Structures are given as structure tokens and as C-alpha cells.
Structure 1
Amino acid sequence: MPRSLTGMPFDDIRNLLETLPPPDEEAAANWRERNASLVKPVGSLGRLEEIGEHLARWQGLGRPTVDRPLVAIFAGTHEVMKRVPLGPQASDTRAEVELLAAGGAAVNPLALAANAGLKVFDLALDLPTPDICVDDALTEQACVATIAFGMESIAGGTDLLCVGASTGGNNIVAPAVAAALYGDKPSDWTDDEALLPTLERAMKQHENAKDPLEILRQLGGRELAAIAGAIIAARFQKIPVLLDGFTACAAAAVLHAVEPTALGHCLAAHRSGSAPHDKLLKKIGKTPLLDLGITLEDGSGAALAITLVRASAVCQSEMATRDQIGTN
């Protein structure tokens, strides 16, 4: 049953997560029935069969499609990066967003090759979130408003959503969120020893943050909150999701910590090859589709995975059945 509201902003988000639409098992059963009738040995398409059933279950279609995929990139900046002089700064994120807008980033031709739309969302780049070593990243109201923005960002129609991030500071805030969620040491969530003093200070500042949404608010940022919102909205709109890199998975992990079934409609597009990303994928129970060593966070890996997911749907929808060719 949905919780009774207390007037606190996060209650609305918790209520949404307690009322998520369930999977369409009838559509999944119809897909399995058709798959069993195809002219091939059962299971011979390997993981393609699993992907196809996933699409059917979450789109609610016996023959799912991937005709209107969308790569959504959420861009944010963080004051904490000033503590890392050699790390990416707000100006670097602005330059990356401008490159994305101009079509010159890696994800642009990859999305084009996958016949996918691409949207970049500027989350107040010129107003970095406060330094999480001394302050909260967001107020509760601002965090919820940004989640709501992420929910609205996928309006316009898509049948497969890819979520990625462009952010100066993801290598601090995303590991901080993961460490706080799982109670681990900061060193368990970064491969960059130069970041450890900053991470440790941030964790000390927010050591009392235990609730997942509070962890998102205090240690995360606008891009993580918006990604979380997009994932929630996709669930209500029957849109499967491809999670891109570590940052997108950290945002998803917040939802998973609130409601373990919240990521049922999500697949992990790829693994970056880093130990922290591998560990986070295990925490949220996702086996990546691709293993190409892509460390970009901008949706490039997810854009590549679109073709694989589409191929799964097309192959099994258009293959001949035994009845069609008159075999037993």
C-alpha cells in the first residue's frame, strides 16, 4: 500500500516507488510462446532471447519494437571539483555540452548509427552544486524538483531510453553516493588515489546520511537526481532503460536501495572495466550487455547497445515459425 504523505517532498518520490507498475507477464509469456515456435533450437540465440523477453515484459508487447530509441544525457557541475585542480572543472563540462550540441562528441555518431534521438539537458551548469565536503549538494525541495525534471525530460515518446551523464565531478559524487549507500570505504569506489582525501572528507561530512534519497540529496547532484527521475518515468510509461556508465548506475542504485524492484525495467548497457563499476553492477544485480572498456559516461556505451537490443527484437519477431514452413 502507498505510504500516507506527511507533506515532506521526498514522500512523493517514495510513494511513486511503492506504486511502480509491475511487469507484463502475459506479454512475456506470449513472447516465450512465439520464441518456442521459431525455426531454431530453443536457447540457440543465447542472451538475445533474454533481451527480447525483457523488452516484451516491460513494453507490454508480445512483439516488442525498438523504433524510437533516445539517448538522454544529463549535465551537471560540482563545486567540490575545485579541490582537485587537475580534475575536470565546470568549464570542461560546459565545453563537453557544447561539443555534444555541435555533434562532435563520440556519442553523436554512435547515436546516429543506431538511428536514435539524442537530447542533452543542461542542469544549471553555471551554478555548480555546493562543495559536498562542507555542505549538502541540494535541498530536499531542489532534489525533488530535479527528479521531477528528469521525469518530464522523456516526454515526446520513445520506446527505449538510454541514460548517461556529462559532469565535472562525477568521479567524486558518484563514488560518494555508492560508498554511502553500501557502507563501504571510499577507496572501494574509486581507482584514483588522488581523489581519496576529498572523498573521505565528503563522507565524514555526511556520515549520518543513511536514507537513500538523503544520500542522493546530500552527496549527489542534479544529474544523478534527473537520471533517477527519468528511470522512474520510464517505468510508468512502459519504456525499457539502458543504463550507461558508473554515474548512471549510481543514480539507479539510489532507487534500488529504496525499492529493490525499481530497476526491473533496466538493463546495464556495458561495463567500463573499472573495479568500482563492476562492483556497482553486482550491487544492483545487472549483467552488462557489452564489455568494450568504454570509460566515457556520456551514453556512448548505451548507444552502442541499442543496436544489439533492436537486433534481438527484430530477429525473433521476424524469424519464421515451424507452422509457417510446415515442420514439427
Structure 2
Amino acid sequence: MHLSFADFPLADAPAPDLHIAPLPDDGLAARVQHRLDHLTKPLGSLGRLETLALRLALIVGRETPRLHDPQLVVFAADHGLAAQGVSAYPSDVTWQMVDNFLAGGAAVSVLARQHGLSLTVADCGVCHDFGPGRPGGVDGTRYADLKLARGTADSSQGPAMTRGLAVQAMAQGAALVRRLPGNVLLLGEMGIGNTSAASLLMSRLTGQPLTDCVGRGTGLDDAGLARKLGVLTQVLQRHAGAVEPLDALAAFGGLEIATLAGAVLQAAAERRVVVVDGFITTAGVAVAAALAPAVLQRCVFAHASAESGHARWLAHLGAEPLLDLGLRLGEGSGAALAWPLLESACRVLAEMASFASAGVSTASA
């Protein structure tokens, strides 16, 4: 299926709503916890699966949440900063991987098929012409043409994009989510150079030293990592005045991170469960949360990636990831792998018998 640019006209795409209230409780947490405590199992014996079940119930607003029509979106764009040699791969890999997603050959494509996840590839600013009427991919994979520019500018020379363009990208992300069914949004990304943008955003948004934020990305060797750190240090200094979240986003990029941030804001406003993948998707969520802190209540963090700054960023956000598999692929692969845990948590709440209903004796005092 092809979603054309006309499906997401800029003139009709309002800016995302930043007035996202904290999730109401009204005793729901206590009722869900009571339910969990009286299922046929030792108290707390399902560990963090119970914590996950409680979170999902609060997001959806039901004692027995039901997750339906999960949507995995891979946000793709190019980065002008890649010209400074901050990645082990050339920029052409971005568009080549978009084609690979649509052909069904990427890891996230395989995992989406395995777990029944609807997959959309959103072209937010890939420096490649895919052609008019670009068809969707195999297995129902959709291509959404949200291209606002052919990548961002080189942030070592000036801002990656204007603040206005960043806001437009966010509006496009919100518009996309409004058109997708379901109550779960799983986040993925693709863009050569985007670990650099994410590292810069992490340092600026958290105040942590850049050395604690920069990793090897797609697999830089020691010399490449040193070069990357040197380039990013200069970029961070060049944009010392870009302190507010939107200013930092405009200064460092990228278009896929901005679009993703808008999608997260819209999903949070609709009380969709937001499943966060790795380092770059965390950057988009962090921007959204800096603008509307209650966003984090709607998020489930799938995994701690092998990118060196990710664990620190998760800790800063107070997030506890479900998995730690040493992943550093991106694409939404970790979000897809975590998806069965969300399904299991919901099934436990909905389908397990209680001690009373099963006629099972409870533990003695």
C-alpha cells in the first residue's frame, strides 16, 4: 500500500498537541494490582511482567487491557553531517535500506511478519527519489511519503534545519499517527549519521558530557570513534545557544527524529502504547517528553541497546527496558522482539484464574 504525500498535506497538518495530561488513575492501579495479587501464582512471582501489565492497564485505561492492530513505523531520513565521516557506512545505505524494508528483506521486516505487526516505512527526508506512485512493499508493508527535504543540512556548518521545518516534520508525524489504526505504536528508524544527531541531543537535553553520549554507531573502529567525537564536539560548541528542545532539535536534526517526536506526541494524546526501540528512537521520545513530560507515562522501553550512551539516557529518563540483548541495529528490531511480552502481560491479566475462581487454596499466613 502506498500512502502518498497528498495524504499528509502540510496545510492540513496541525502542530502536535503539547497539552498531554498525566494519566488518570481513579483507583485503577489499585484494582489492577489487587487482580494481579489474587491470580493463581505466588505473590509477585511473574516479576516485571506484572509491572508491565500494570503499566499497560493504566495506559489503555482498563483492568484487562487489549492491544490491537499494532503499528510499527520506521522513520527514515538522511543527515548532512554524515559528510564529515561520522559513520562507518555511506549515506546511500539509507535509501538502499528503505528499499530493503519494502522488499521484506530487513531484520525488522522479518520480525514484523513473525509477530503480525503492520509495518510502515515513512520517508521523512531520504536523499533519493523513489519515484511517483512508489508502491508499497511485500506483506502489506506501506510506504508513506512525508519527505520535507532531501536530508538535513550539515550541522557542522550551520543548523541542520530551521525551527519551522522541525515543527513541520513533527506535524507530519502526528498526521501519520492519526491515520493509522490500533492502540499501539512501535518505533523504528533508519538514517546514516543519526546516532550522531541522537548523541548531540542527548548531551544537550541531559547535560551529560558528550563523551558519555557518543558510541560506535554502525560499527566505527577506534580511529573512527575518535573522529566522530571530535566532529561532534565542534558541532555541540557551534550550537551552544540551542538550549530549548525545539532549538536543539533544529540545530542537530534529523528529520526522522523530528517526525518521530511528533508521532509520539500524537500517540500519547490518543493514549496509545508507545514501544520505544533503541538509542535514536529514545532521542525522539526525549524531545517529545521535554515538550510534554506526561509522554513518558505512555512509553514502554523495549531494550537497552549496545550503543554506549543508551543505558545512561534510559536511567536519566527513569526508564527500565524490558530486554538487554546487546542489540545495536535499530530499525525497530528491539521493539518488535519485545512485542510478545506486551501480549503476554495482557493475557495474564485477562485470562489467568484467581485463587477464588479456580478453587485453589491461598498461601497460609
Q: Which residue of 1 is the match for residue 146 of structure 2?
A: none
Alignment of 1:121-136 (within 5 A): 121-126=122-127, 127-136=150-159
What is the distance in 2 between the residues matched to 1:249 and 1:25? 26
Q: Which moved more, 1:59-68 or 1:283-292?
A: 59-68
User: Which one of 152, 169, 172 corresponds to residue 149 of structure 1?
Assistant: 172
What is the distance in 1 between the residues matched to 2:277 and 2:258? 15
Q: Which moved more, 1:50-59 or 1:78-87?
A: 78-87
How far has the Cα of 1:107 moved from its partner?
Answer: 0.7
Q: Which residue of 1 is the match for residue 76 of structure 2?
A: 75
8 Å contact from structure 1 (residues 90, 125) kept in 2: no
How far has the Cα of 1:202 moved from its partner?
Answer: 1.0
What is the distance in 1 between the residues matched to 2:49 and 2:208? 35
What is the distance in 2 between the residues matched to 1:297 and 1:168? 11
How far has the Cα of 1:85 moved from its partner?
Answer: 7.4
Which blocks of at least 5 consecutive residues in structure 1 are unaligned? 1-10
SS at 2:191 equivalent: strand
How far has the Cα of 1:42 moved from its partner?
Answer: 2.1
Q: Deviations over 1:13-52 (max 9, x none)?
A: 5xx33x2133142443332232233112221111111111
8 Å contact from structure 1 (residues 256, 284) kept in 2: no
What is the distance in 2 between the residues matched to 1:131 and 1:274? 23
Q: Which moved more, 1:24-33 or 1:303-312?
A: 24-33
How far has the Cα of 1:182 moved from its partner?
Answer: 2.4
Q: Given residue 143 of structure 1, which amino acid in structure 2 is its aligned partner? A: A
Q: Deviations over 1:98-128 (max 9, x none)?
A: 0001100001111122111111101121212
Alignment of 1:157-176 (within 5 A): 157-176=181-200
Q: Which residue of 1 is the match for residue 161 of structure 2?
A: 138
Alignment of 1:179-258 (within 5 A): 179-191=203-215, 192-258=225-291
8 Å contact from structure 1 (residues 73, 121) kept in 2: yes
- Cα distance, 1:12–1:70 mapped onto 2, change above 3 Å: closer
- Cα distance, 1:150–1:85 mapped onto 2, change above 3 Å: closer
SS at 1:119 equivalent: strand
What is the distance in 2 between the residues matched to 1:85 and 1:222? 18
8 Å contact from structure 1 (residues 24, 58) kept in 2: no
Q: Percent identity?
A: 32
Q: Which residue of 1 is the match for residue 296 of structure 2?
A: 263
How far has the Cα of 1:255 moved from its partner?
Answer: 2.6
8 Å contact from structure 1 (residues 66, 310) kept in 2: yes
How far has the Cα of 1:195 moved from its partner?
Answer: 0.4
8 Å contact from structure 1 (residues 243, 266) kept in 2: yes
**TM-score, normalised with respect to structure 1:** 0.91
How far has the Cα of 1:327 moved from its partner?
Answer: 4.2
RMSD: 1.8
Q: Deviations over 1:161-220 (max 9, x none)?
A: 111110011121111111111233322211322301210121121011111121011112
What is the distance in 2 between the residues matched to 1:162 and 1:195? 29
What is the distance in 2 between the residues matched to 1:164 and 1:20? 23
SS at 1:53 equivalent: helix
- Cα distance, 1:276–1:261 mapped onto 2, change above 3 Å: same
8 Å contact from structure 1 (residues 239, 265) kept in 2: yes
**TM-score, normalised with respect to structure 2:** 0.82
What is the distance in 1 between the residues matched to 2:286 and 2:279? 10
Q: Given residue 129 of structure 1, which amino acid in structure 2 is its aligned partner? A: T
Q: Which moved more, 1:52-61 or 1:137-146?
A: 137-146
SS at 1:275 equivalent: coil
What is the distance in 2 between the residues matched to 1:12 and 1:100? 29
Aligned: 1:302 with 2:338: no
Aligned: 1:44 with 2:45: yes
What is the distance in 1 between the residues matched to 2:107 and 2:87? 23
Q: Which residue of 1 is the match for residue 315 of structure 2?
A: 282
SS at 2:22 equivalent: coil
How far has the Cα of 1:272 moved from its partner?
Answer: 1.2
8 Å contact from structure 1 (residues 59, 238) kept in 2: yes
User: Which one of 181, 190, 202 corresponds to residue 178 of structure 1?
Assistant: 202
What is the distance in 1 between the residues matched to 2:172 and 2:86? 31
- Cα distance, 1:211–1:86 mapped onto 2, change above 3 Å: closer
8 Å contact from structure 2 (residues 197, 252) kept in 1: yes
Q: Given residue 20 of structure 1, which amino acid in structure 2 is its aligned partner? A: I
How far has the Cα of 1:275 moved from its partner?
Answer: 2.5
Q: Which residue of 2 is the match for residue 7 of structure 1?
A: none
Q: Given residue 179 of structure 1, which amino acid in structure 2 is its aligned partner? A: S
What is the distance in 1 between the residues matched to 2:275 and 2:31? 23
- Cα distance, 1:148–1:194 mapped onto 2, change above 3 Å: same
Which blocks of at least 5 consecutive residues in structure 2 are unaligned? 1-13, 128-149, 216-224
8 Å contact from structure 2 (residues 20, 268) kept in 1: yes
